[in-house]
């Protein structure tokens, strides 16, 4: 499998990153280990998780995903060959994350507690890429790339980006993390991190993990140029639009065991105009002789500002369809066809 440099670091990561948020909810520990085994066999060296996981977040399951990865690493003894990424949550009303049940924030105390717990669950000494799952400040919408601006209500006790950067710098010096990354961040927030690094306030961010797929290309509006010029590559999450672009929900289908059937949390991809666009992209994949999941991931991988696409699966068959994207030769004809549909539908699911 092809690899790419992670930002300006010395790390090379597989173009496909295995997302793990189903481990501990939709997937058992045994199933999680089977996915990890197959991913490594296929050439994946890049794993993404979070203290939040599994999804949906619940007090009784929180941290289970990292623990499953940790048990697999211990059993296989292959830590040295992998790039492991995890995340600390931003401001949240869910108080079960912290021992004193206080409101999670991105200050030094919270970040340090989160790091120590992730290291323990994963059973490792150093996290390769430590990402901020979402900002401390209120934003115009989760993912921070709205197509229509809505001014968020400010908070009086916002943790400054520079304050968070300072604790990240300390953690790098202590050897607990190697590199920093962002997630669900805006162009403004990303450039604040870059400017802060240039003035010595903290580590330079190596990547940004935002939603990016055929029905949500808002990353291209403000962040693609930053990604290319500043070497802060996109780690694209939801390349299948939470499963919609696989075609499994076509014509109102509701597969047993799917996230929609279990949790009904896919509203981001159920907005006006979304289904028509999704149907068109699924049909387009068929015109090019591909499974929709393979086509959608191949599109993401073909974009020059993308470092890796983060795939997620609940079974090995789904995993194989996503892995097949690495074998696709993306052509100008494919890009033109996708762009033509985008001109028609825009970004119905920002």
C-beta separation of 341 from 285 below 8 A: no
Q: Domain extents for the chain?
A: 3-345
Superfamily the domain 3-345 falls into = NADP-dependent oxidoreductase domain (3.20.20.100)
Cis peptide before 56 (omega within 30 of 0): yes
Give the per-residue pLDDT at 124: 98
The full length of the chain comes to 350
Give the per-residue pLDDT at 145: 82
Query: In this structure, what DSSP letter does residue 348 have?
Result: S
SS3 8: coil
Residue tagged 């999941």 (tokens): 293
Angle at 22 between CA 325 and CA 46, to 5 degrees: 50
- Catalytic residue check, 53: yes
| Separation CA 209–CA 189 (nearest Å) | 13
Q: Which is the catalytic residue, given 53, 68, 130, 249?
A: 53
Alpha-carbon separation of residue 234 from 118, 223, 228, 308 (angstroms): 23, 9, 9, 7
Give the per-residue pLDDT at 148: 87
| Separation CA 303–CA 334 (nearest Å) | 12
φ and ψ of 84, to 5 deg: -110, 125
**How does pLDDT run along the chain (350 residues), one tens digit per residue?**
999 999 999 999 999 999 999 999 999 999 999 999 999 999 999 999 999 999 999 999 999 999 999 999 999 999 999 999 999 999 999 999 999 999 999 999 999 999 999 999 999 999 999 999 999 999 988 876 888 899 999 999 999 999 999 999 999 999 999 999 999 999 999 999 999 999 999 999 999 999 999 999 999 998 999 999 999 999 999 999 999 999 999 988 999 989 999 998 889 999 999 999 999 999 999 999 999 999 999 999 999 999 999 999 999 999 999 999 999 999 999 999 999 999 999 999 99
């Amino acid at each position: 499998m092809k690899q790419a440099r992670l930002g300006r670091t010395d790390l090379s990561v597989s173009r496909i990153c295995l997302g793990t948020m189903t481990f501990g909810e939709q997937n058992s520990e045994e199933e999680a280990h089977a996915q990890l085994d197959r991913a490594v066999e296929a050439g994946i060296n890049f794993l993404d998780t979070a203290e939040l996981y599994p999804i949906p977040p619940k007090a009784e399951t929180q941290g289970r995903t990292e623990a499953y990865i940790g048990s697999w690493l211990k059993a296989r003894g292959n830590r040295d060959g992998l790039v492991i990424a995890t995340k600390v949550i931003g401001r949240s009303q869910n108080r079960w994350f912290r021992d004193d049940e206080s409101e999670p924030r991105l200050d030094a105390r919270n970040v340090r507690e989160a790091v120590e717990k992730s290291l323990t669950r994963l059973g490792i000494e150093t996290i390769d890429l430590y990402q901020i799952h979402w900002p401390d400040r209120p934003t115009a919408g989760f993912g921070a790339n709205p197509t229509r601006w809505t001014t968020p209500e400010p908070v009086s006790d916002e943790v400054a980006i520079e304050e968070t950067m300072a604790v990240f710098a300390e953690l790098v010096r202590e050897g607990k993390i190697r590199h920093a990354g962002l997630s669900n961040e805006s162009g403004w927030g990303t450039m604040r991190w870059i400017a802060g690094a240039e003035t010595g306030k903290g580590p330079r961010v190596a990547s940004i993990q935002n939603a990016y797929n055929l029905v949500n290309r808002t990353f291209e509006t403000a962040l693609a140029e930053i990604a290319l010029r500043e070497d802060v590559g996109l780690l694209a999450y939801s390349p299948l639009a939470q499963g919609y672009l696989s075609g499994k929900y076509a014509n109102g289908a509701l597969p047993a065991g799917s996230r929609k059937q279990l949790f009904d949390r896919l509203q981001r991809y159920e907005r006006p105009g979304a289904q028509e666009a999704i149907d068109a992209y699924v049909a387009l994949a068929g015109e090019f002789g591909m499974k929709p999941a393979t086509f959608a991931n191949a599109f993401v991988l073909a974009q020059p500002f993308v470092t890796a696409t983060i795939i997620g699966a609940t079974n090995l068959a789904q995993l194989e369809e996503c892995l097949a994207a690495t074998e696709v030769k993306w052509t100008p004809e494919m890009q033109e066809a996708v762009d033509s549909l985008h001109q028609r539908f825009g970004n119905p699911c920002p």
